[in-house]
């Protein structure tokens, strides 16, 4: 016999496996909004790299940041490099969100970011000398009190570790040597120091700093750390930092639940460099896929709105690691020279190859892109024939998905689709109809393969060179 879930006083009980769970009163209609919450008013728009980085995220963020109220960085450190060109001035950002150029918006560095303070202030000073874009940057930058600090000895350890890898196995990871990995290691080992420690009681911070420095000196006997000099430097930075520091969780909560705001999140690095989903071990030390937005900013998943993947019209990679569509030939040299493919952070020459849609489709599986920004299409202007990677095989057998094992990835044979090039300049195009028919066909081929719409197409370095399709 079914249990009667109606009580004599007019209350209902919700049951689970026949057991009473919650009493609900029909008379208390005021709680209905709690049981049936409205859709969140403010959602964050996310811009993420869909390859191995260097896709041109900074330009897309700069475009969207023009009318954003808040622009956020959620992970990574000054190992990331974003270039933005405004009014003919080229700005290079590593820690500062690209949106800092918008004087009407607030830039926020979340708790998932690891911050090298000398790098932060040097970056701001160098860019301020280039043009007026950064004028008043300190008045519109907020930094989470929970963000971890990268110390000078973290950077030194990064270099030592790379040297050891080279000596031991003949292959390093190709890190930027900016101390990001060692800083995240300290964070995971629970002996790292955060911004809130630095701007609080400095004597307590100093004691913890000495312990951490001693820990690394024990691990690396040849490591030279000038403890006194770095502490003096950090004491000075603490004073400059203090006005910028805020409770990051409360800051984001107010932004998400308060009056209507446009909130933009700028990812660093890219999907194939994600610590969990990337081409491990040749990855960065943080989650640069969409999950990093939640953990790196304190954003509940229900507040994630549109997720835009930035895809370069070909593929590049800095450093070592498997690269199935790499062209170590004249084609690769042409892409490298025309695209000026040098790392913003390290100046290293980027390896270049054909667009790999197997890789981008995998990035879409992880991130769920709402749409794509296709950048640097103009670099392909001189090619009469363009290839696109559409499938992988190993030992003659097709792979259903992107392999997790890097030994397997190095063995894949790529199946290419060959498309006709357009052999004319696209740099002057300002709408889709201005593009040559074969360039339009290239874009539609990407959309059809990924089943994701292309929202923007980049044909140059400036803001004006981003063609909007949707």
| Residues annotated in a binding site | 53-59, 79-83, 176, 190, 269, 284, 344-350, 376-378, 458-460
Beta-carbon contacts of residue 231 (< 8 Å; ≥ 6 apart):
206, 209
Phi, psi values for residue 297, rounded to 5°: -125, -15
Query: Residues near 212 by Cβ (< 8 Å), separated by ≥ 6?
Result: 151, 186, 191, 192, 193
Q: Which residues pair with 391 in a beta bridge?
A: 415
For residue 44, which of 262, 254, 203 has the smallest C-alpha distance?
Answer: 262
| Active-site residue (options: 187, 303, 364, 387) | 187
Residues in binding site for substrate: 344-350
Residue tagged 């809130």 (tokens): 196
**What's the length of the chain?**
470
Pairing of strands 413-420, 385-394: antiparallel
Determine the Cα–Cα distance for residues 204 and 201; give it in Å rounded to an integer: 6
Sign of CA dihedral 348, 352, 358, 364: positive
69, 82, 303, 356: the active-site residue: 82
Phi/psi at 170 (5° precision): 70, 15
226 among known catalytic residues: no
Question: 360 preceded by cis ω (within 30°)?
Answer: no
**Catalytic residue, candidates 54, 69, 158, 197:** 54
Residue 338 DSSP code: H
**Start-to-end C-alpha separation, the chain:** 58
Among residues 177, 198, 182, which one has the least CA distance to residue 150?
A: 182
Annotated binding site for GTP: 53-59, 81-83, 350, 376-378, 458-460
CA 460 to chain CA centroid, nearest Å: 22
The H or E element containing residue 372 is strand 371-375
215 is catalytic: no
Active site annotation includes 187: yes
For residue 312 the two structure tokens come to: 């370069």
Tell me the catalytic residues. 54, 82, 187
């Amino acid at each position: 016999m079914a249990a009667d879930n109606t009580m004599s006083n007019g209350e209902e009980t919700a049951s689970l496996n026949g057991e009473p769970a919650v009493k609900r009163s029909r008379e208390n209609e005021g709680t209905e909004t709690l049981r049936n919450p409205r859709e969140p008013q403010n959602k964050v728009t996310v811009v993420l790299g869909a390859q191995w980085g260097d896709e041109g995220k900074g330009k897309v963020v700069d475009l969207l940041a023009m009318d954003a109220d808040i622009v956020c960085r959620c992970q990574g450190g000054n190992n990331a490099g974003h270039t933005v060109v405004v009014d003919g001035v080229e700005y290079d950002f590593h820690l500062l969100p690209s949106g800092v150029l918008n004087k009407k918006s607030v830039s926020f560095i979340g708790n998932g970011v690891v911050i090298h303070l000398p790098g932060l202030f040097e970056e701001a000073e160098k860019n301020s000398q280039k043009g007026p874009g950064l004028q008043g940057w300190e008045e519109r930058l907020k930094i989470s009190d929970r963000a971890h600090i990268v110390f000078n000895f973290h950077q030194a350890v990064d270099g030592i570790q790379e040297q050891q890898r080279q000596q031991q196995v003949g292959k390093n990871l190709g890190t930027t040597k900016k101390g990001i990995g060692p800083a995240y290691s300290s964070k995971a080992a629970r002996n790292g120091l955060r911004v809130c420690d630095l701007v609080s009681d400095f004597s307590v911070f100093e004691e913890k700093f000495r312990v951490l420095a001693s820990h690394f000196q024990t691990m690396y006997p040849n490591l030279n750390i000038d403890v006194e000099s770095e502490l003096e430097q950090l004491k000075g930075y603490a004073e400059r930092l203090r006005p910028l520091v805020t409770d990051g969780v409360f800051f984001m909560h107010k932004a998400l639940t308060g009056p209507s705001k446009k909130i933009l999140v700028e990812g660093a690095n890219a999907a194939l460099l994600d610590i969990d989903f990337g081409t491990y071990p040749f990855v960065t030390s943080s989650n640069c896929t969409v999950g990093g937005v939640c953990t790196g900013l304190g954003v509940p998943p229900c507040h994630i709105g549109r997720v835009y993947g930035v895809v370069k019209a070909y593929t590049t990679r800095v450093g070592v690691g498997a690269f199935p569509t790499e062209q170590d030939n004249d084609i690769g040299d042409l892409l490298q020279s025309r695209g000026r493919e040098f790392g913003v952070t390290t100046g290293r020459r980027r390896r270049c190859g054909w667009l790999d849609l197997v890789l981008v489709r995998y990035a879409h599986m992880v991130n769920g892109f709402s749409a794509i920004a296709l950048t640097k299409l103009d670099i392909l202007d001189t090619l009469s024939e363009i290839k696109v990677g559409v499938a992988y095989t190993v030992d003659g057998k097709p792979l259903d998905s992107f392999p997790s094992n890097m030994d397997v990835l190095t063995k894949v044979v790529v199946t290419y689709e060959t498309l006709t090039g357009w052999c004319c300049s696209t740099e002057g195009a300002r709408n889709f109809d201005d593009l040559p028919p074969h360039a339009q066909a290239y874009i539609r081929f990407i959309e059809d393969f990924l089943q994701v719409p292309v929202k923007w197409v980049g044909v140059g370095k400036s803001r004006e060179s981003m063609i909007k399709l949707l």
